[in-house]
Structure 1
């Protein structure tokens, strides 16, 4: 059996395989150098990609910081100039008051003064209404603690219990928010 194994090992096919294996085991120095150069090029390519990605990240972070700064500035400007539109709309009202004050006092009558004040008042009310300001209805309405502030109580047979009898100071609502409740007298 040993003889058979030996013959088998020395067969021409096995000898060719052994030669191929030995040829693969012996490394050609030129191909090893070429492989090393390939690895170096690959590493350099990855380094360049990493550097490019890092630069992109830094630019993106800088852009984000600039955007935050711009947004903060816009918010500050918005808060600072939020009233500008209303102020611009009230300027004609102010002009009319100044005209009334500079009018000839000798020629002015009480009636003309009242007419001028009424016109300025209506002009101001229009500006406020345009912006969303509305008076809160009070007299004859059921008392609502969300929009009315009861400062007095009375007994009036004309009104039912819990109904506003008199408005002592107007209340105002800006859009959907109460900015000043109406000061009222309520029926007991």
Structure 2
């Protein structure tokens, strides 16, 4: 155990262990976000018996968690590769390229879960271009008006969705690293948990079980 603790504490292994912890945080966060959402939606709008609903909840939670874990792993890996290729010096474009490649590989396939995630990301990317106010967000959010559609919804074309997903993830990763103040607080906190909290640990417990 002492040898393992020595490896964990060794700065030479930090970039590689950060990939491992990033995958762990991605999976845990995906479960935390998707499971309650899928559970509530299944109870309110699900069809079939409870066994079939449970399978739907499990599949959605598994896909969200594993895809987020895959993306964090690929993003951190691509960042490390680019940094090593550039003599250990990070560049501004590294985050965009790593996010673009990760988004293409993980979220390029159009599924219901991927579509929800990509639309969430792109809405934050687009909103980041709105000029910032001089004061932070207030504690209370304004009410939202409901709307109903009379047309039958159609999914996006799979070919364009792949490009859409890649550009969205590349953009949001660049914004997080270089213009973090423009990102909506909820998403910013989520990204801190996934990409920055996974850079810090003190021992085996805080590497795999919980954050420091």
TM value normalised by structure 2:
0.27
Higher relative contact order (CA 8 A, sep 6+): 2
| Structure with more of its chain in strand, by fraction | 1
| Structure with more of its chain in helix, by fraction | 2
